[in-house]
Amino acid sequence: MGERDFIDLLELQARIKESVQDAFPGRYWVKAEIASWSPRSNGHCYLSLVQTRGGKSVAESRAMIWKWHYPQLTQFFEETTGQKLQAGITVLVRVQVAFSELYGMSLYIDDIDTAFTLGQQALERKRNIERLQKGGYMEMQKELALPDLPYRLAVITSKTAAGYQDFCNHLLNNPEGYAFQLDLFEALMQGEQAPASIMEALEEAGNKDYDAILILRGGGSELDLQCFDHYELAIAIATCPIPVVTAIGHDKDVHIADMVAHQAVKTPTALADVFLEAYEAQDALLDRLAGRISAALLQLVSRQELRLKSAESSIRSAIQNRIGALEMALQKSIGRISRGLTQKYADVARLSDRAAHRIKFAASARCGEAVSFLALKEALINGSDPRKILGLGYVLVTGKDNKVLKTVDKVAVGDRIGVRFQDGSLLAKVDEVFSERTDKSQTA
Amino acid sequence: MSEKFDYAKAIAELEEIAKKVENPETKLDDIDALVARSKDLLKQCRDYLRTVKERIDSIEE
């Protein structure tokens, strides 16, 4: 067996190193997924980069970041992307291909393209949002309703989070004295474990009789917000049967957890306000009802007062009308009476005048009559004095009984009659009687 | 309170009372009782918002 040509390992490695260095003289931007990530105590960070296709690794390489690059590089990356440099993420890194005789090939990373990672994140996020939209997850929580008076609240947060105390103070020491029941479900709110931890708490609280579940990040690093864009966490929130209110607290953008939640606010105080405002709204409703009732009551009272007033004024004006009418009637009566009286008085006066007149007239007539009568009588008396008449030549004839004869009827032939004269009488015998009335005559 | 306070029921009753008081046809004689009832309900509702319900429930049970 002849001796073979050979070189020793070191020489081989040295040649490879030389070839590699010749073939890859500069630096190259390489896109790869970080498969493992191990910072060491010596300050260097060792990692492995892979490329997968269809779920299988199709390329793999060792890589490292020297300790003089490591702190700046990781800090810059985390600050820019809000994401930790760790296994599982795809990055665009600048590498120098190096070959060590002892360790073989390795890629020295000295720069990282954060814009690429941001783009990746945005892409990933966009894809997640689209998937959630397609699955109808965005609307699920919105269809749930917070009760009018949310009272039993489950808070998922880290007990030590500064924001949690703010939240408790603001909610429980509210000036109106609204009461709440608050239960804490502790969970990790940052880091890789956060989504799983939050999902566990969500499931536990979701099985109980809460009015709302609150996810409160409550401070801490602005990094690590990635977990609130986590797809499975988003689904867990969306499918929770109880309304979930988030307060993740990042002004720059909205997280997927916020999008799928029933309601999202920025700060712990705002979170407490969601519930306080629900109570304030109820208080306001009570105030409105009380206001309506007292306004209606007031209106009712004033309506009654108006009615009373109008009744009073109608009564008053009716009384006044009545009094006016009575006064008028009275005046009219007085007028009539006085006119009547005047008339009567005048009539009476006229009558009495007339009567007086008549009396006077009658009296004087009577007087005149009496005087004439007396005069007549006197004349008659004077005239009928037989002596006077006898003096005139007349005689008075008397019959048998010595009574004056005024007619020849009672005288018969042969009767003795007396004839008286003024100065004496004689007794005669009737020889013949002539009656003018009967036209007969008696003769003896 | 022997019966558990029903906030929603109380609100509904208050609404009814408000409507009745607002109705000019409601008799004056009934108003007094309605107003007294509304005061009672309003107080109970306002208290309810400020009371730890669990405690009340457990006392009642």
Please report the ipTM that was assigned to this predicted complex.
0.86
Q: Residue B2 has what pLDDT?
A: 44
Please provide the distance, in angstroms rounded to a whole number, between the alpha carbons at the two ends of chain A.
265
Dist. CA A40–CA A61, nearest whole Å: 18
Dist. CA A275–CA A171, nearest whole Å: 8
- Mutate: best of B6, B21, B23, B30, partner A, most A CBs <10 A: B21
- Mutate: best of A182, A286, A297, A304, partner B, most B CBs <10 A: A286
Q: Residue A207 has what pLDDT?
A: 93
Out of A151, A296, A303, name the one closest to residue B53 (CB).
A151
A286 in contact with B, Cβ within 8 Å: yes
Q: Residue A89 has what pLDDT?
A: 86
Q: What are phi and psi of A239, to 5 degrees?
A: -90, 0
In total, the C-beta contacts within 8 angstroms joining chain A to chain B are: 59
The pTM of this model reads: 0.61
Q: Residue B1 has what pLDDT?
A: 44
Q: Residue A183 has what pLDDT?
A: 93
Out of A148, A178, A296, name the one closest to residue B21 (CB).
A296
Neighbours of A42 (CB within 10 A): 8
Kindly determine whether residue A292 and residue B18, on different chains, have CB atoms separated by under 8 Å.
yes
What is the three-state SS of A244-281?
Answer: EEEECCCCCCCCHHHHHCCEEECCHHHHHHHHHHHHHH
Q: Is A47 helix (H, G, I), strand (E, B) or coil?
A: strand
CA distances from A415 to A408, A440, A443 (A): 11, 17, 12
Kindly determine whether residue B50 and residue A297, on different chains, have CB atoms separated by under 8 Å.
no
Kindly determine whether residue A286 and residue B45, on different chains, have CB atoms separated by under 8 Å.
yes
Kindly determine whether residue B50 and residue A304, on different chains, have CB atoms separated by under 8 Å.
no
A137: DSSP letter: H
Dist. CA A206–CA A213, nearest whole Å: 8
Kindly determine whether residue A300 and residue B28, on different chains, have CB atoms separated by under 8 Å.
yes
- Residue whose structure tokens are 């008339």: A343
Q: Is A120 helix (H, G, I), strand (E, B) or coil?
A: helix
Q: Residue B3 has what pLDDT?
A: 62
pLDDT at B56 over 60: no
Question: Which of residues 289 through 348 in chain A touch B, CB cutoff 8 A?
Answer: 289-290, 292-293, 296-297, 300, 303-304
pLDDT in tens, B14-44: 999 999 988 888 888 888 899 999 999 999 9
Alpha carbon of A239: minimum distance to chain B alpha carbons (Å): 28
Q: What are phi and psi of A182, to 5 degrees?
A: -120, 125
Q: Residue A50 has what pLDDT?
A: 95
**Do the beta carbons of residue A253 and residue A237 sit within 8 Å?**
no
Dist. CA A218–CA A100, nearest whole Å: 48
Using a 10 angstrom Cβ sphere, with 0-12 exposed, 13-18 middle and 19 or more buried, the burial of residue A291 is exposed
Q: Residue A439 contacts by C-beta under 8 Å, 6 or more apart in sequence? A: none
Q: Residue A83 has what pLDDT?
A: 79
**Strands, E, within A278-424: which ranges?**
396-398, 416-420
Blockwise average pLDDT, block size 10, chain A, 444 residues = 84 93 94 93 95 91 95 90 84 94 93 90 88 95 92 91 88 91 91 89 94 85 74 95 89 83 91 93 94 90 88 90 88 83 79 79 79 78 72 82 83 86 86 77 66
The per-residue DSSP string of A14-33 comes to HHHHHHHHHH--SEEEEEEE
Which residue intervals of A101-175 are DSSP H helices? 114-134, 137-140, 162-172
Q: Which residues of B touch A297 (CB under 8 A)?
A: 21, 31, 35
Kindly determine whether residue A290 and residue B42, on different chains, have CB atoms separated by under 8 Å.
yes
B25: DSSP letter: T
Q: Residue A225 has what pLDDT?
A: 74
Q: Which residues of A touch B52 (CB under 8 A)?
A: 179, 181
Query: Whose CA is closest to A35, among A51, A21, A58?
Result: A51
Q: Residue A409 has what pLDDT?
A: 82
